[in-house]
């Protein structure tokens, strides 16, 4: 299938999805917010079956399946073994990550969860060297460099989206080799579909922001956001003068 940025829009990509047949791989999505729900939407369009965490860990399948793991499936308190969302947000360092069982049965990980630097990482580089670490591909959408995914050592770019991580040497190598984990870590991923991203942003702007701002006389927000006024650059954007003059 073509890279997303080479397609006209999301509708064109969805038409391609309709023609794809996925192998029987296991996919783990971390998170429960917009990023993760966006990944879930794609997997649903690919007609991949969602299963519960328990079934995902215990069963084998003859079709592709995925599991959604929000923070309550990823962390437990070090002492009580319970999980309290509010307390976790306040004292993430008091929790331990319980993602390890999923590393033994997952082929493809999609990381879409915000990571608090005080929280434990999903797995270590040493864990990635063990014989039962099965993850071969990681789409690190959150792209926290040296963060929850320790192999995410850099952000990649559209057009050169993936690098290989050699688990033995801990070095970046070319992707798609037999003994590497392939990492996609584009930090501006919505730009893969600029037409759709711009339209959705514009629709939200006109629906939720502009009507309220236009009703406010002498809005400071409008003033700060205005690049041009009365046919000329505003003072804040004077640094664009050379660009305007074609230099």
CATH number of residue 177's parent domain: 3.40.50
Q: State pLDDT tens for residues 57-93.
A: 999 999 999 999 999 999 999 999 999 999 999 999 9
Between strands 162-166 and 171-173, the pairing is antiparallel
Q: Let me know whether 147 and 240 are in one domain.
A: no
Domain co-membership, 226 together with 157: no
Closest residue by Cα to residue 13 from 37, 42, 35, 38: 42
Together in a domain, 73 and 181: yes
- Do 129 and 201 belong together in one domain? no
What is the extent of the structural domain holding 147? Answer: 4-192
Give the pLDDT score at 2: 83
pLDDT at 238 over 80: yes
Identify whether residues 159 and 230 lie together within a single domain.
Answer: no
Tell whether the model's pLDDT for residue 211 goes beyond 90.
no
Taking a C-beta distance cutoff of 8 angstroms, is the pair 112, 89 a contact?
no
Beta-sheet pairing, 228-229 with 232-233: antiparallel
Contact 99, 123 (CB under 8 A): yes
In 3D, which of 164, 165, 100, 109 has the Cα closest to residue 132?
100
- Chain mean position to CA 193: 15
The mean pLDDT value of the chain amounts to: 93
Q: How many domains are there within the chain?
A: 2
- Structural tokens at position 41: 């939407």
Q: Which residues contact 6 (CB under 8 A, 6 or more apart)?
A: none
The reply to whether 215 and 136 lie within a common domain is no
Percent of the chain scored above 70 by pLDDT?
A: 100
Residue where the block lists tokens 């688990």: 167
pLDDT digits (tens, 9 = 90+) for 173-205: 999 998 899 999 999 988 899 899 899 889 988
Q: Do residues 10 and 99 share a domain? A: yes
Residue appearing with tokens 């991923």: 189
Q: Residue 247 pLDDT > 80, yes or no? A: no
Mean of pLDDT values over 158-163: 94
């Amino acid at each position: 299938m073509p890279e997303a940025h080479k397609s006209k829009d999301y509708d064109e990509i969805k038409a391609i999805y309709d023609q794809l047949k996925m192998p029987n791989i296991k996919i783990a999505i971390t998170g429960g917010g917009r990023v993760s729900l966006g990944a879930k939407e794609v997997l649903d369009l690919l007609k991949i079956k969602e299963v519960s965490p328990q079934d995902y860990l215990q069963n084998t399948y003859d079709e592709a399946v995925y599991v959604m793991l929000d923070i309550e499936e990823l962390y437990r308190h070090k002492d009580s073994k319970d999980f309290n969302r509010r307390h976790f947000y306040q004292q993430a360092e008091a929790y331990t990550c319980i993602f390890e069982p999923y590393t033994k049965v997952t082929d493809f990980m999609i990381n879409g969860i915000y990571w608090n630097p005080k929280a434990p990482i999903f797995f270590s580089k040493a864990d990635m060297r063990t014989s039962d670490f099965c993850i071969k591909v990681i789409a690190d959408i959150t792209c926290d460099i040296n963060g929850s995914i320790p192999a995410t050592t850099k952000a990649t770019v559209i057009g050169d989206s993936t690098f290989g991580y050699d688990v033995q040497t801990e070095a970046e190598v070319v992707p798609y080799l037999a003994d590497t984990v392939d990492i996609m870590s584009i930090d501006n991923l919505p730009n893969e579909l600029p037409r759709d991203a711009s339209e959705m942003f514009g629709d939200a702007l006109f629906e939720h922001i502009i009507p309220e701002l236009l009703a406010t006389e002498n809005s400071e927000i409008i003033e700060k956001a205005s690049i041009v006024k009365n046919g000329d650059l505003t003072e804040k954007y004077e640094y664009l003068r050379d660009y305007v003059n074609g230099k």
